[in-house]
Every structure is written in structure tokens, then in C-alpha cells.
Amino acid sequence: MYLETPEGIYLALRPAGLPVRVLAFAIDLLLRAALLAFAGAAWLYLGKFGLGLASISAFLLLWGYMVLFEVLNQGRSPGKQIMGLQVIYSDGTPIDWSGSLIRNLLRVIDLLPFAYCIGILCLLNSARFQRLGDLAAGTLVIYEARPTQRKSLPEVTASPSARTLTRNEQHALLNFAERQQQLPKRRSEELAAIIAPALHIEPAQAVSGLYAIARSILGLR
């Protein structure tokens, strides 16, 4: 799914599907149960004072937990944060009080008749994985964009390709070189062997030959 910004840039968003959201919810549920047990203990040990404390915290955990975390922690409840998810408005802006309140109050309907049946059906039936609460609030749950460490290209001496490459071909070669750490050695050899003849490279040095071309495309030495 792409979001067009006012600057004319297309940003890729990845809406999160059912399994990962169920996991995030389960984590939140466990956490809330643990906190509630704490509050219950306060009731046992502190008497009436603890009872007031316990009932207020039960209320906060039931209605306020998701809203508070989503608004104050960039759209991430602890479960979502662990699973790398984030709630945003569908126009890409961060979630605020009203959006979060709507989507979490309408949970009451999504969880009907049991175990979030309505929410799950609605989510699976929508192109952007929105449950009823999300539809009403205009919100999305997406995979959070996490910063990645860029890998440097393999150290070989750059040498230009023997024939002129189109832009798509250059792009493919660059991506091949950048993925060197993710690909097993045998697999990169297999891939390189397919295109080596077309670029007039010795099959024996196919991989390093492609790396050399990639470096020259980038403008490295």
C-alpha cells in the first residue's frame, strides 16, 4: 500500500495482518492480567484503601490501557511494540486522542459474539486489515519502519561492464551486490552463473565479476 505525501513522494506502508496482531493482543492481555493481579494483591494487603486502588486500576486497564499507550507512545501498546507494529491514521499522520478513543471503545463490538469474531471477519474482509473500530476511526495498524544498518559492498576492484547496461539491469546488479550477506554462497554463485555469459564474464569468477560491475555502477573504485 502506498501513501502519497504532499511533496509528491510515495511512501510504502505495510498493513499488519491477523496473526501478528493476535500475538500483539495476546501479549497485551497477559501484561494486563499481570498488572491486574498486582492490583488484586494491593486489595488483599491494603484493605479498603487497596479496594479503591484496585477498582480504579481495573477500570484504567480495561478502558485506558490501549488508549494511553497508543497516544503517548507513538501508536504502540507494549504488545505492538514487541511485535514491531504501530497504529497510525490512514493518511499517515500519528494517532491522537480522538482516533485512539474511537478505535478502542468500539472494541466492545469487535469482540462480539466471542473471541473477536466480528473484528476478525471484518479485518480479513478488508484490503488494509482494518477491524470495525479501525474503519470508524480511519486508522491502520502497520509494521513499524525500523532503521537498518547498511552493509558496504564487497571489497573488489571496480571494473566497468563490457556492454552497456540499461537502468533496470544496473538496478538488478546493484541489488544483487547489496544482498551479498543475506544470500548463501552457493545461491549467489548459482544466480551469478545465469547472467555471467551475457556480460562476458568468466564463469569461474562470475560472483566477483558482478560485484566489480556493481561497484563501478555506484562510482566506487
Partner 1 sequence: MKQAHFETLQHSTWQTFAKKVQALDKGHAQVEHIQSFAQDYRRICQHLALAKQRGYSEALIEDLQQLVWQGHQQFYRHKSPALERLLSFIIVDFPSTMRQQWRCIAVSAVLFFGSFALMAVLTRLFPNLIYHLISPAQVAHIESMYDPAQRLLGPISLRNHQDDWVMFGFYIINNIGIAFQTFASGLVFGLGSAFFLLFNGLHIGAIAGHLTRIGYGETFWPFVLGHGALELTAVVMAGAAGLKLGAALIAPGAFSRVAALRAASTVSITLMGGAIIFLLLAAFIEAYWSSSNSIAVAIKISVGCGLWLLVLIYLLFSGRIRHAP
Tell whether residue 7 is a contact of partner 1 (CB under 8 A). yes
Contact window for partner 1 (CB under 8 A) among 20-28, 104-112, 189-197, 203-211: 104-112
179, 152 contact by CB (below 8 A): no
Among 92, 160, 197, 203, binds partner 1 (CB under 8 A): 92
φ, ψ for residue 26, nearest 5 deg: -60, -40
48 lines the binding site for partner 1 (CB under 8 A): yes
- Residue 105 Cβ, how far from partner 1 at the closest point, in Å? 5
Q: Indicate the pairing of strand 10-12 with strand 2-4.
A: antiparallel
* Contacts (Cβ under 8 Å, ≥6 apart) of 111: 117, 118, 119
List all residues 6 or more positions away from 74 whose beta carbon is below 8 Å from its beta carbon. 86, 94
| Residue 100 · residue 66 · CB < 8 Å | yes
Q: What is the CA radius of gyration of the chain?
A: 26
Among 19, 114, 148, 181, binds partner 1 (CB under 8 A): 148
C-alpha cell at 207: 560472483
Q: Report the residue number, 148 or 164, with the smaller CB distance to partner 1.
A: 148
Stretch that binds partner 1, among 14-22, 28-36, 132-140, 205-213 (CB under 8 A): 132-140
Q: Where along the sequence are the contacts to partner 1 (CB under 8 A)? A: 5-9, 11-12, 48-49, 51-52, 55-56, 58-59, 62-63, 74, 88-89, 91-94, 96, 98-99, 101-102, 105-109, 132, 135-138, 145, 147-148, 150-151, 167-168, 170-171, 174-175, 178, 217-220
